Amino acid sequence: MSIPFIDAIRGYLQGDGAVILPEMELTLFGLAVLLIGYPLDESVENNWFWKLLFKNFYAKAALAGTLFSGFTLWKLRGAVAASARGYLPGFHESVVVDSFFPFFATLFLAATALVILLSVKYLDIEEEQEGEYYALLLFACVGMMFMASGVDLIVMFLGLETMALSFYVLTGFLRREKRSNEASLKYVLLGAFSSGILAYGFSLIYGLSGTTNIRNISAVFNPRIGLARAIELSRQSGVMGSQMRQVLSAEYPAALHLEPSLLHQMPVLAAAAFVLIAVGLFFKVAAVPFHQWAPDVYEGAPTPVTTYVSVASKTASFALLLRLFLTVFAASQETWVYLIAGVAVASLTWGNLAALTQTNVKRLLAYSSIAHVGYILLGLVAWNETAFTGIAFYLLAYVFMTAGAFAVIIVLRQKGLIGEELEDLNGLYQRSPASALLLLIFMLSLAGIPPTAGFMGKYFIFLSLIETKHPVLAVFAVLYIVPALYYYFRIVVHAWLKAPGEAPRPVMSSAQAVALGVAVFVSLAAGLYPEPFTRLAHYAFGP
Amino acid sequence: MLASISIAGLGIWLAIQFYRTKRFAPELVARKWPKAYGLLFHKYYVDEIYDATVVNRVKDLGSVLGTFDANVIDGLGVDGTGWLARFGSTLSMWWDKWVIDGLLNFGAKMTQLFSFPVRMLQTGMFSSYAMLILVGLVILLAYYGHHMQVLLRGVR
Amino acid sequence: MEFFAHHILTVVLFTPLAGALLLLFIPREMETAHRIAGNVFGVLGFLVSLPLIRWFNLNWGGFAFEESAEWIPSIGAKYHLGIDGISLLLVLLTTLLGMIAILSSWSAIHQRTKEYYILLLLLQTGMIGVFVSLDFFLFYVFWEVMLVPMYFLIGVWGSDRRLYAAIKFFLYTLAGSVVMLLAILALYFYAPVPAGHTRTFDVPTLLAAAQHFSDPLKVWLFWGFFFAFAIKVPMFPFHTWLPDAHTEAPTAGSVILAGVLLKMGTYGFIRFSLPLLPTDAAMRARIIHIVVILSIIGIVYGALVCLMQKDMKRLIAYSSVSHLGFCTLGIFALTPNGLAGSVLQQVNHGISTGALFLIVGVLYERRHTRMISDFGGLATPMPNFAAIYLIISLSSLGMPLLNGFIGEFTILQGAFQVSKAWAAWGTLGVVLGAAYLLWLYQRVMFGPVTHAINEKLPDLNLREYATLVPLVILAFWIGIYPKPFFAYLDKPVQKIVEQVNPRFYEAEHAKLPPAELHAAMPRTK
């Protein structure tokens, strides 16, 4: 028996729908969390089954969504491997599932799951336990996944905005808290500003190439720039010019009579498009000098959201950036490499030096994350296989070690104690040895001391810089580990070596324990036995 | 041979006569020939002559050298070395404290100094942040636009 | 037993780590249990290293007890261990001093004992790892890992300025080692890869490949490694972390720092820096000149600074700068005598300075002060202590019949073969060494008892004897009969000199009559 409606859905799910199935599932779970209310009376409290099901129902549903989506993603990965072309296109090649997508999508889902686990107790303390929060987390994740799978400028932009809008709301989720509101407003205004810049860049590319699909853009774009340069050369005197004139008159005679000023504008406009897009994305990843929202937003947002912004939003923006740079702007890498190098060095310098004097842990980690962006951007400067593996590995390590560091701060948040200042960490070792040990491991990893994940990430970046003959940048990058260690160890000093004050013992919920366990496992495993992780990172940029 | 034995024998006999049997008392001889006795008693004054000409002169030199040792060699040399060592170590501690640690502390000072621009730029005002984004954008555009222009004009 | 025989280095390496893991499971309150477990694993760590002596083949010039296992195949990093005579002596020194340091802390540490022993044992694994790794990646991991426990040992159990000293130590060393990381990566990248092979971090392979590098590249690599090792040794002017770290660290920390940690730098020079010296004679001479002059400045400078110290620990700390200057001088003389003497002197310095720190620890435990002026005339209440202290002082200053003499003499002999001036400056260091050590001894031990509180100080107890006597015995043993120690060094030193200074043997043989020449020829494989 065939029901046309069901058949249509089944057909859809085997065709285009298969490509966006993980996102669809997440959306459905998000909608479910939004729409389903649940009974909260004594019968729930007293019956173990109802309690298991309904206590923190929203969080459990959202977590189930990420697990479900992750499972689908796993199966999708198998389908990618089995496919003839090595990737699965959908919706007229505007969404693509290749090896790049599962890697980043897994990171986003993992980050989302960690944040959900970390949020439950935090929201209880803040008395803001709402379904919308978890729905927004899932929607943000959907947006990020489209940022990684989209190969069409419009899909990418939509993905980015879905993510960003969710974040704007999440940042201001503590309605009664002034800091949270202020951060949210700042984030919205600046985010809109940067999105405008990004959209302008997109529109320029569209204007120059006549298509929004990035595969087509790179097919059209780079030859056109090449042609423009050829025509420009042919107008010059000398041997080179005359040779170029002969080539052009043989192959493309019309070119010799084109309006010169238009031709001249082509590469310059492409350059402008590049800069606009880069600036829009630099804002999202918080690279200097587009980073200033980061410390304020990190400090003001509820700490789980800070974690999410710092970890997932940055990774997703890097995914988008890599997708664009590796296709549309790949051919012109040698022209923009200095620009990226400049931004990278600025981020390293500013991030590391500004972090030295911070007294708020969240702000300190904000600046340190700016420094991490500098390292990742150096991978783009190196631009070889090691560098791409390194970027992927670095992002992987970054997700777990940063989430872990913030998780410890979240554990410190107790009733009547904010726990975000360095002073609040005093004597953490005496109050909770396990959290202090975890904090130490995350700090070592963030600083890049072996054998931790953070070291391996840096290892690949440094190696790629040496391979591509950038010794000065390499020395520069490597020496910044020293101040970085200093400020990370300021946190350690407060947690381990200062006497505890009046602060109470932090109590870790089981959800927090699971999140910390996962984060510390990856941070250590990827350092002690990096082999599977390096393979994974290598896989992200093509089998 | 015979003569020497007889002289030796005579000497032995005389000594016996003088000191064992006391037939001639030495005092008697000393009274009779005081000069000869004195000469013999002081063993022809050889020791005195030697003392005066050699031994005392060496002693004098020794005391001179001793003074030199105490004042010049020890004073300037050994103690001086000690003093020099103390001076040197004071100097090197000074170097450690001010120059090498100073360099390190200089880094710390620079860091402190650096926190000012950070604070200055991190105003918390939306407008200044947006302004910086624009400035950054313009700088990057200017740089890259210029760079492309240069590349275009390239081989001339 | 079979497993032990084939994986002895792994066992030696991970015995302390196993102890640390075991200690994790002993409840915090059971302090005595921590002490006992820590000591048991300290002794165990020493005992399992003893078979190395018997099983080591003195005629085998390469690496012994090699173990190799895949670790990160995608980048070519392996778990590759192995030792030659040089690392053998240093490993044994590490296990011995580790055991003694753990024993010496029995009554000195009263807070956080559990963490204390865990960190000491972790540190032990890290240090042994540095000496036995034959894979650059593994080596770097151990090199860095070891910083963390040392940081905490100084930072938690140190004296007044411990936070400053701890972070200074960490940052200083880290600055050197990150540059070394770049040098390692460059070595890794520039080494040619045979077809069908992946890149490798294997130490012998990479160092052999480095022989064919261009001279400028070798010079860059040399300086890249140099800073890490020079800071660790420490050479003038990278030494200022040392007095602070040594002074602020707890006794066991100072013993380990002076006894073993500093040797990681000299070991690095011998193992990694020497093969990276450029082939071009002028370039090489320039580098060696710089390093030797820094060593000589270190010798004289360290000794001079010692004369002015008011704090016993600080004095001994500065004396390490002077003594380690001898070791680097010996290394960069590039003669067999210089190198062998340098390694032996490293062991000697571990013994003598380790013991000196233990001695200060003994006094500190009784009086809670390290100021020289707080003591005086201690020979009266503590005669046995005075005797041991005197022997150790004499051993440190290079008295014949004691170990220091053999080391310094051999180094000076090696340096003399290259330049008489180097040897002369070195001798000045010996003289100054006698001055500051004897003066210290005189001020602390002789004369009338100047402080009433010192009149009734108890003499050494059994545990303190147990820590000091083995070192005294070793001091005499090396001083009277150093041959068995040199026997471990002959082969590896000859191999190094043949590689980095081949003209040395040619020149030596030119001096010999033909019959003896044949006998003296280095036996090549």
pLDDT band at C503 (very low <50, low <70, confident <90, very high): confident
| Helix and strand counts by DSSP (H, E) for chain A | 26, 2
How many CB pairs below 8 Å do chains A and B form together?
101
| CA distances (Å), origin C119, targets A11, B135, C382 | 62, 51, 33
Q: Who's near A115: CB < 8 A, 6+ residues apart? A: A137, A304, A305, A307, A308, A311, A312, A403
Q: Residue A502's pLDDT band (boundaries 50, 70, 90)?
A: confident
Chains with at least 3 CB pairs less than 8 angstroms from chain A = B, C
CB within 8 A of A223, min separation 6: which ones? Answer: none
Q: Quick one: pLDDT band at residue B156, thresholds 50, 70, 90?
A: very low
> Residue A388 pLDDT > 70, yes or no?
yes
Distance linking the first and last C-alpha atoms of chain C: 32
Predicted pLDDT at A460: 95
So what's the ipTM on this one? 0.92
pLDDT in tens, C95-150: 999 999 999 988 888 888 889 999 999 999 999 999 999 999 999 999 999 999 99
Which positions in chain B touch A264 (Cβ < 8 Å)? 152
Task: Report the neighbours of B using a cutoff of 3 or more CB pairs below 8 angstroms.
Answer: A, C
pLDDT of residue C524 exceeding 50:
no
pLDDT of residue B73: 56
Q: How many independent structural domains does chain A possess?
A: 1
> Is a pLDDT exceeding 90 seen at residue C238?
no
Mean pLDDT of C346-374: 91
Average pLDDT, chain C: 89
What are the pLDDT digits (tens) for A262-274? Answer: 556 677 788 889 9
pLDDT (tens digit per residue) in A506-526? 888 999 999 999 999 999 999
B133 → closest Cβ in A193, A267, A270: A193
Residue B130 has pLDDT above 50, yes or no: yes
Band the pLDDT of B96: cuts 50, 70, 90: low
The 3-state DSSP class for residue C278 equals coil
pLDDT at C291 over 70: yes
Report the alpha-carbon distance of residue C326 to residue C337 in Å, rounded.
Answer: 13
Q: Is B126 on the interface with A (CB under 8 A)?
A: yes
Task: Give the pLDDT confidence score for residue B46 in this predicted structure.
Answer: 78
User: Domain containing A336: what range?
Assistant: 332-543
**Residue written as token pair 């296990």:** C95
A489: in domain = yes
Residue C525 has pLDDT above 50, yes or no: no
Measured in whole angstroms, how far is the alpha carbon of residue A410 from the centre of its chain?
21
CA distance B152 to C325: 59
* Nearest C-alpha neighbor of A97 from the set A50, A61, A145: A145
Residue-wise burial string across A125-134, b where 16 or more C-beta atoms lie within 10 A, e elsewhere:
ebebbebbbb
Distance to chain B for A262, nearest Cα, Å: 13
Average pLDDT of span A361-383? 94
DSSP string, C304-372: HHHHT-SBHHHHHHHHHHHHHHHHHHHHHHTSHHHHHHHHHHHHHHHHHHHHHHHHHHHHHHHHS--BG
Residue A399 falls inside a structural domain: yes
Shortest CA gap C161–chain A (Å): 12
Q: Name the residue with tokens 């001079």.
A: C304
Higher pLDDT, A189 or A48: A189
Mean pLDDT within A490-515: 88
pLDDT exceeds cutoff 70 at C515: no
Instruction: Please indicate whether, in this complex, the C-beta atoms of C168 and B104 are within 8 angstroms of each other.
Output: yes
Q: What is the mean pLDDT of residues C348-352?
A: 93
Is 60 exceeded by the pLDDT of residue A353?
Answer: yes
Length reported for chain B: 156
Looking at residue B155, its pLDDT comes to 39
Phi-psi region of C234 (alpha: psi -120 to 50; beta: other; left: phi over 0): beta
* Domain coordinates in residue numbering, chain C: 283-497
pLDDT bracket for residue C271 (50, 70, 90): very high
Q: Inter-chain contact A335–B111, Cβ cutoff 8 Å?
A: no
- Mean pLDDT calculated for residue range B25-31: 73
Instruction: List Cβ neighbours of A251 (8 Å cut-off, separation of 6 or more).
Output: none
* Residue A301, pLDDT score: 93
Asked if residue A443 is part of any domain, the answer here is yes
Which of residues C503 and C216 earns the better pLDDT score? C216
pLDDT at A335: 84
Reduce the DSSP state of residue C69 to 3 states and report it: strand
Residues of A in contact with B143 (CB under 8 A): 339, 342
Determine the average pLDDT of the residues in A77-100: 87
What is the reported pLDDT for A276?
94
Q: Which residues of C sit within 8 Å Cβ distance of B?
A: 168, 237, 240, 243, 301, 304-308, 432, 435
Considering CB atoms only, which of A478, A531, A535 is closest to C178?
A: A478
Neighbour subunits, C (≥3 Cβ pairs < 8 A) = A, B
- Amino acid A426 reads N
Nearest to A220 by CA among C130, A274, A228: A228
Q: How far apart are the first and last CA of chain B?
A: 126
Mean pLDDT throughout A139-160? 95
In angstroms, the separation between the Cα of residue C144 and the nearest Cα of chain A is 7
How confident is the model at residue C480, as a pLDDT?
A: 92
* Residue of C308, C322, C432, C442 for testing the chain B interface, max B β-carbons within 10 Å: C308
Closest by Cα among C149, C110, C144, C138 to C32: C110
Question: What rounded mean pLDDT belongs to chain A?
Answer: 89
Residue reference for tokens 């990276």:
C276
Handedness of CA C265, C271, C276, C280 (dihedral sign): positive
Do C191 and C198 meet the contact criterion of CB atoms below 8 Å apart?
Answer: no
* pLDDT tens digits, one per residue of C417-458: 888 999 999 998 888 888 889 989 988 888 888 888 888 888
Q: Three-class SS of residue A127? A: coil
Q: How close is the nearest chain A Cα to the Cα of B150, in Å?
A: 11
Burial per residue of A156-179, b for 16 or more beta-carbon CB atoms within 10 angstroms, e otherwise: bbebbbbbbbbbbbbbbbbeebee
Apex CA B45: angle with CA B39 and CA B49, to 5°? 160
Q: List the single range of A402-411, A427-436, B116-125 with lowest mean pLDDT.
A: B116-125
The Cα C382–Cα C363 span in angstroms is 10
Query: Quick one: pLDDT at residue A456?
Result: 94
Once rounded to an integer, what is the mean pLDDT over residues C6-25?
92
Q: Would the CB atoms of B92 and C305 count as touching at under 8 Å?
A: yes
- Among candidates A194, A268, A338 on the partner chain, residue whose Cβ is nearest the Cβ of B133: A194
Note the pLDDT of residue C109: 82
Kindly indicate the confidence band of residue A485, based on its pLDDT and cuts at 50, 70 and 90.
very high
pLDDT at B69 over 70: no
Residues of chain C contacting B88 with CB distance shorter than 8 Å: 304
In this prediction, what percent of chain C has a pLDDT beyond 90?
A: 56
Helix (H) / strand (E) element for A95: namely: strand A95-97
